[in-house]
Structure 1
Amino acid sequence: MTSSDTSATSVKGRPTGVFRPDIEGMRAIAIGLVLIYHAGVRQLPGGFVGVDVFFVISGFLITGLLIRELERTGRISLATFYARRAKRLLPATGLVLATTALLTWWTVSAVDWRAFGGDIVSAALYVVNWRLADRSVDYLAEDVGASPVQHFWSLAVEEQFYIVWPLLIVALAWWLRRRGHMRIRPVLTAGILAVIVPSLAYSVYLTTSSPATAFFVTPTRLWELGIGALVAIGTTAWLRLRRSAAIVLGWAGLAAVIASGFWFSTSTPWPGSAALVPTLGTAAMIIAGYTSGRAGVAGVLSWRPAVWVGGLSYSLYLWHWPLIVAATAYWGDLGARRGLLVVAASFIPAYISYRLVENPVRFAPSLKSNRLSLSVGANFTAVGVLAGLLLVLVVPSSTGGGSDREAPGASAIGSGAEPEAGTTASLADVEWYVPDPVTAVEDVPPYPPECQVDQQSPVPVRCEWGDVDGDLTIGVVGDSKIMQWYSAIDEIAKDEGWRIVSYTKSACGFHDGMQVAKGEPYESCAAWNDAVFDELVELGPDLVLTSQRINDVMSDPDDVESRSVDAMVDAMVRRWTALTETGTPMIVLLDNPNPGMAVYECVAENPDDLTQCQFDLEEGISRSGALAQVPAAKKVPDAKTIDLRSEICPGDPCVPVIGNVLLYRQTSHLTDTYARTLTEQLRNELVPAVEEVS
């Protein structure tokens, strides 16, 4: 993405800093892949590989720049290097982030302003990749839409590389001078390999164990920039490459990059070893450009329109994604045709900022001073940080001052505390409610985060709560829908002297079927289930309490489209029967109706007409885990059910607020505030059930 001076070499093999138009052509291919992919063109499912192309180019250019300076002057001016990066990259970044904050405020629901404001601050500071990595495995963030600065993750990786890489080269140069050696390239080659090899190994490992995290974090990407650096170090060797070999190598490299865009998809574990294809392909094109001449791929890449697009690639990368997010928020799903139109429209602000901001600042005679250049960069960074903070600060409150009042919640149903509480008619009388819908996603039960295993891990995590010294042990198993009751169960267990041992995993129910997650078989869920079953058998609890959201699994192990409720019922029956046959009875807490929409977002947008946020009861049940839980429990003699659905949806349609409490956070989870108000109702059902089966 970021742009540096492209370079060529003289016939003596020394870098001269001569412009290499083929590098700009490679950038054009990279940005083209990214733009088409982000536009939603299904025929190019692997267009994200354009980012990997950028990584190799950046590693090549920056390393070449540093080595040339070191060999020319015997030293590297870090101040000059960072000043050049600052005035080249940060002005456009500040402008785009400020504009993105305005677009987000204008088009995106207020419930996302806090999260996206934080993203903008992180993007301005070039650490957003770590923030996105953390969010990718946070089930509490499942309803947060695509961040308008999500694309900054790759820029953050590059900037982190730019900070560390010059320091590494300076350290190696200092070490060599102390020993009287001046041949920097062989030593630097060893140093680069010392980065590439462990980074690639870690990338392969983490891509397998935690792919969502692996995609964003810096250590899994350093090897890609390192490949570009290795190409820059080997200039002398590439100049000896025969022209005919260079021609073949260059075209093969281009074919590898283009093919990657068609072959790979979001289902491909990435980056991992698969990323070797586009990265080595890019390296091949760069190497071939030294000697292939116009007959090689460099001739095509040097085509003037391609060079022009390549020169604009940084601006295009910055601008296109915020426009796509804003357009999607405003119009809904864009589709490929409208997506391409938005991408095409991004050329306008990209060109304007390139001509009026980037180049004027970059080449300003008054900014030759390193100190002034760094100051300008810092000021534009401050603009981005301020824009993000302002977006957070303008988040409105929709509760009508309810945060300071005690809300009756579920106890209002039928109590007369609120006329016809829990009915559509009562919504007209709602003047305040808690929690605030714009922060409802944060209204979560206070269990330790590690108790909820993420979607990547198949390893069970055992947590103990309630009365940990209690005489009766209850196993709590399932996904986040059982843990939404944590506060209520914990209070009841402490009062009754129950020891709770929980095993929970994000979006993974307790059964022996194969769920589907993100379009792929949820294999870690199946492995986790088997392991948890073994641990429960060994633990021998007095009973097991379970609940879940998902109501279908694959009926055909080779077809993800074969999911069915009947298959889930059978999978539950097999697992539950196997457990009860060991002498452990089960209690199934039926899942609450699923609204099928972000209720809290609807309430935030319609505070004066909450009827817009109600939903049909039967449809809500059909989307919930109860659709499979009810028939499954009937087939397992030692399984009993607890049904609190009438306390969550006492009428039809189901309403968003009961007893001045907002019911839903995320799409289908209850707010912890409302779940707490159901403690007595749950106690009245759970205590007799436990006494009966234990």
Structure 2
Amino acid sequence: MRSRGVENAPHERQTCTASRAARHHIQPATQTAPRYKDLPRMPASGYYRNDIDGLRALAITAVVIYHVFPRALPGGFCGVDVFFVISGFLITGQFSRREIGLTAFYARRVRRLAPALLCVLLGTLLLGTFVLLPNELSALGRDSFAGVTFFSNLFSWHEQGYFDRTAALKPLLHLWSLGIEEQFYLLWPILILIGMRTRRLSLGWLVAGTFALSFTFSLWCTFFAPDAGFYWPISRMWEFMLGAALVVGAPAVRSLGSHWRTGLSWLGLASLGLSVLVLSPTSGFPAPLAACPTLAVMLLIAAGPKTWLAQRVLASPPMRTLGLISYPLYLWHWPLLAYEHILHGLTNQGRRTGYVIIALSVVLAALTNRFIEAPLRWRTPARPTLCGLLAGLFATGCLGLALWAWPGLLSQQSRHGTDINIESISIAEQDGIFPVTPNMTVEHVGSITLATIGPSIGNPILFTGDSLLFQWAPHIDALFSEGKLAHTVIFVAGPSCAPLPVEHYATEFRFCKAMSDLQDRILTTYPIRKIVMGAFWQRVFSLDPAVWPARKAQAEARIRTLRDGGKREVTIILPTPANIHFDPANMVQRSFSNIMIDASTLRAGVPMSSIRTGGADFTALLESIAHDTQVSTLDLTEEICGSRDACFPLMDNGTPKFADEKHLRPVFTQGRLQGLDRLLTH
């Protein structure tokens, strides 16, 4: 899932006076404090805007729908960017008008964020003691510690991409955005205050300079370090600066006529709608594609609170109500979804279950807001409440550290006396299916990976295909580490990307159409004499036999081009074993009281007759293509399954061979595979 969070903090009420004024429909008193250099004062009526609550409602709706039903709203993850722009607008205005001191601001942030955060963290940890294995509960403790210290984004950056498959099994992954938000709150007010005191740097130059540096760095990350670009606060700062720019441009915004404002509001809504419908997590995010939703939000904020759209839609009671609970709604929905995936598997969530998760998230968010957030934020003495919340954060952080340090602490699950290691099955389920290895040099072209392993570029082999081809990278890396790799290996691979131009791709995989061009680029640049291709051939050629003749002809035409009149050797890796019983997620059945495994089935394995029959048609098709084009095939089934009558999903030490029903784990592929070795070591 690169399943990409949301900024969690609802709107900042600019001052306590302004907050009370907004609730009682009175104007706040005129302030006489000096303003930031060259910055005109915004009108008092702009201090509190109901329509911004509506923008939060749109953002949280997009994010929740994306997480629960990703195909329904493929770009819903950009709701996070909506919140970043809003925060940049509100916080910059607040400090530039000198409405609050730094200490008071941070105290209010604690009272705003800590109550719901502590509630969700403790609830998530409590549930984890019933359904998680010791190693999983230890990881949850680490994530809890990262959450209360607001470093979740940096912890997540070291583990996996936000859109990775295993991200859906992390109940607290979503706190990454809260980390970025709080890091922005820590840095940006200090920069503004430094500029105010030195009087040498106007707010406009500060915003423009920060935007330029951040956006440039974000673009660099897109091409060379995409995970860092997603999780680092520096690469996200430019989104906050778009909101800050609205404060700098306040005079120009106020001068707009009503017709212009109306046009901006509808253009912003249309652009935001297009973003959540069209964007995908494949490439170019956050820079430059996050510019689409962020500029859309700028237009909606610039249009002001008096347009028809703002008053009748964004500021309507239902939208405001949803916007006001957006923070606890975000906090609750992801752990509920993650535990559903942990209990029932990543692919077993039904539509009805999704609706239940959304409904339960809304109910919990409303209850949290009513009985925890509001009382602790507004209705209790400020100093004792602040001290209590800080103590709660400290205690929760200590609990997280304890769980992290002692994996068995509080866990109610065990191995149940079997020789099959249940924890190793849990670890296998979290293995990535597109493994980047230590000795690999990687370049990303969109979402296609160009990678190199080897001592030199003098005698390279091209490996090309999808994740079922890229799964052999750990084996090649191991040969290189042992000094046995005779050829540099160049990968041209992409998730669900066929090595032959025969597949009709869904919208989210349209980037795969560049595979042939990238293959040709490598073949033109380097003296390739061997090509190895592999894929999930059942998907490539389709399960419909009616399309096989046409696709077979296209495949053969491309293979002849790759062979270049016999100058290059081509090897097709035949279908590798695949079965639902290989999937670690199906080996374990969880409940709130126990974890069970069917040890007898795991020991008996899957009959080889079933394995051979399942891939027979596609094996015959590939062998026919190989015969017609005079290329070779490679069957690794026996090396994966063994020579007995059954294919065993577990290795001799009781740990799984597979990460899911068809992808092999790196810990398995690193071992000896004679079929591949003959290609790589001679």
Do residues 360 (structure 1) and 375 (structure 2) align? yes
SS across alignment from 2:491: strand
Residue identity in the other structure for 1:306: M
2:579 is matched with 595
Q: Is the 8 A contact 2:533 2:572 kept in 1?
A: yes
Is the 1:592–1:626 contact (alpha carbons within 8 Å) kept by the matching residues of 2?
no
Of 199, 205, 208, the residue aligned with 1:190 is 205
Question: Aligned residue for 1:419?
Answer: none
In the alignment, does 2:353 pair up with 1:320?
A: no
For residue 427 of structure 2, what is the amino acid of its counterpart? T
Structure 1 residue 549, shift from structure 2 partner = 3.9
> Which residue matches 1:530?
520
**Cα distance in 2 between the residues matched to 1:237 and 1:608:** 69
Aligned counterpart for 1:157 among listed residues 152, 170, 180: 180
Name which of structure 1's ranges 349-358 and 165-174 shifts more when overlaid on structure 2: 349-358
Equivalent position amino acid for 1:503 in 2: I
Q: Which of 539, 548, 560 is the aligned partner of 2:534?
A: 548
Does structure 1 retain, via aligned residues, the 8 Å contact 2:229–2:235?
yes
Q: Which residue pairs with 2:10 in the alignment?
A: 3
Does the 8 Å contact 1:587/1:642 carry over to 2?
no
Match of 2:91 among 54, 62, 65: 62
Which residue of structure 2 lines up, in the alignment, with residue 654 of structure 1? Answer: 647
Question: Displacement, 1:2?
Answer: 0.3
Shift of 1:600: 3.5
User: Is 2:488 aligned against 1:501?
Assistant: yes
Alpha-carbon distance, 1:30 to partner: 2.5
CA change 1:78–1:143 in 2 (3 A) is closer
User: Cα distance, 1:169 vs. partner?
Assistant: 0.8
* Post-superposition offset of 1:457: 6.1
Task: After superposition, give the CA deviation of every residue in 1:379-425 in whole Å (9 maximum; x if it has no partner).
Answer: 2661684487389556767597xxxxxxxxxxxxxxxxxxxxxxxxx
Which residue in 2 is equivalent to 1:100?
124
CA distance in structure 2 between the partners assigned to 1:300 and 1:80 by the alignment: 34
CA distance in 1, matches of 2:548, 2:285: 30
CA separation of 1:272 and 1:637: change in aligned 2, threshold 3 A: same
Deviations, residues 413-445 of structure 1 (Å, cap 9, x unaligned):
xxxxxxxxxxxxxxxxx8457993333466999
User: Is the contact between residue 448 and residue 493 of structure 2 (CA under 8 Å) also seen in structure 1?
Assistant: no
Counterparts in 2 of 1:636-647, with a 5 A limit?
A: 636-637=629-630, 639=632, 641=634, 643=636, 645=638
User: 8 Å contact 2:60–2:79 — kept in the other structure?
Assistant: yes
TM-score calculated relative to the size of structure 2? 0.75
In the superposition, relative to structure 1, how do residues 229 and 651 fare at CA in structure 2: closer, same or farther (>3 Å)? same
Residue from 217, 231, 243 that aligns with 2:246:
231
For residue 454 of structure 2, give the secondary structure of its aligned residue in structure 1. Answer: strand
Cα displacement (A) at 1:188: 0.6
Task: Tell me the residue number matched to 2:472.
Answer: 482
- In the TM superposition, residue 259 of structure 1 has moved relative to its aligned partner by 5.0
User: For structure 1, which segment, 568-577 or 330-339, has the greater mean C-alpha deviation from structure 2 after superposition?
Assistant: 568-577
Letter in 2 for 1:94: L
Answering whether residue 24 of structure 2 is matched by residue 24 of structure 1, we say no
Give the whole-Å Cα distance in 1 for the aligned partners of 2:477 and 2:71: 44
Q: Distance in 1 between matches of 2:217 and 2:620?
A: 42
Give the aligned partner of residue 35 of structure 2: none
Query: What letter is aligned with 2:175?
Result: F
CA distance in 1, matches of 2:129, 2:518: 41
**Structure 1 CA distance for aligned equivalents of residues 136 and 535 of structure 2:** 24
Percent of aligned pairs sharing the same letter: 25
Distance (whole Å) between structure 1 residues aligned to residue 437 and residue 284 of structure 2: 31
Tell me which moved more, 47-56 or 81-90.
47-56
User: Residue 54 of structure 1: CA displacement?
Assistant: 1.7
The residue type paired with residue 183 of structure 2 is: Q
Whether the 8 Å CA contact 2:275–2:293 is kept in 1: the answer is: yes
Asked if structure 2 preserves the Cα contact closer than 8 Å seen for 1:60 and 1:232, the reply is yes
Instruction: Report the 3-state secondary structure (helix = DSSP H, G, I; strand = E; otherwise coil) of the residue aligned with 1:500.
Output: coil
1:75-94 map, 5 Å: 77-94=101-118
Determine the C-alpha separation between the residues in 2 that align with 1:39 and 1:510: 28
**Residue 306 of structure 1, CA deviation:** 2.9
Aligned to 1:303: 316
Tell me if structure 2 keeps the 8 A contact 1:437–1:600.
Answer: yes
How far residue 131 of structure 1 moved from its aligned partner, in angstroms, is: 4.9
Cα gap change, 1:149/1:38 in structure 2, threshold over 3 Å: closer, same or farther?
same
Tell me what 1:513 maps to.
501
Moved more, 215-224 or 575-584: 575-584
Counterpart AA for 1:90: A
CA 1:301–1:114: 2 relative to 1, 3 Å: same
CA contact (8 A) 2:453 2:488 kept: yes
For 1:578-602, what per-residue CA distance to the aligned partner results, in whole angstroms no more than 9, with x for missing partners? 4485655456665531234653344
State which of 291, 301, 305 in structure 2 corresponds to 1:286: 301
Residues in 1 aligned to 2:446 and 2:546: alpha-carbon distance in whole angstroms:
23
Q: Distance in 1 between matches of 2:256 and 2:547?
A: 55
Change in 2 beyond 3 A, CA 1:660/1:392: closer
C-alpha separation in 2, matches of 1:308 and 1:551: 50
Q: What letter corresponds to residue 600 of structure 1 in structure 2?
A: P
Provide closer, same or farther for how the CA distance between residues 573 and 87 of structure 1 changes in structure 2, counting only shifts above 3 A: same
Tell me: CA distance 1:123–1:263, structure 2 relative to 1, closer, same or farther (3 Å).
same
Counterpart Cα distance in 2 of 1:568 and 1:144: 37
Q: Which residue of 2 aligns with 1:425?
A: none
Q: Provide structure 2 residue ranges, at least 5 long, that are not aligned to the other structure.
A: 1-7, 19-26, 31-40, 590-595
Deviations 1:94-147 (A, max 9, x none): 3212322344554568886566555444444434345555655699x6556353
Partners of 1:263 and 1:584 lie apart in 2 by 40
Q: 1: CA distance between counterparts of 2:127 and 2:518?
A: 42
Change (3 A) 1:677 1:251: closer
- C-alpha deviation, 1:350, in angstroms: 1.5
**Following the alignment from structure 1 to structure 2, what is the Cα–Cα distance between the partners of residues 563 and 338?**
35
Query: How far off its partner does 1:645 sit?
Result: 1.7
Q: Quick one: distance in 2 between partners of 1:122 and 1:221? A: 19
Cα RMSD for the two superposed structures:
4.8
Given the superposition, is the C-alpha separation of residues 230 and 454 from structure 1 closer, same or farther in structure 2, using an over 3 Å criterion?
A: closer
Question: Closer, same or farther in 2 for the Cα pair 1:29/1:650, shift >3 Å?
Answer: same
Change in Cα spacing, 1:158 to 1:310, as seen in structure 2 (3 Å) is same
- Cα drift, residue 89 of structure 1: 0.8
Pick which of 614-623 and 92-101 moved more: 614-623
| Aligned residue in 2 for 1:427 | none
Query: Deviation at 1:258?
Result: 4.3
Question: 1:256 deviation in Å?
Answer: 3.9
1:589–1:641 contact (8 Å) kept in structure 2: yes
1:260–1:278 CA contact under 8 A, matched in 2: yes
Counterparts of 1:473 and 1:244, CA distance in 2: 66
Q: Whole-Å Cα distance in 2 between the matches of residues 77 and 482 of structure 1?
A: 57
When residues 133 and 522 of structure 1 are mapped into structure 2, their CA distance, relative to the original with a 3 A threshold, is farther
List gaps (5 residues or longer) in structure 1. Answer: 401-429
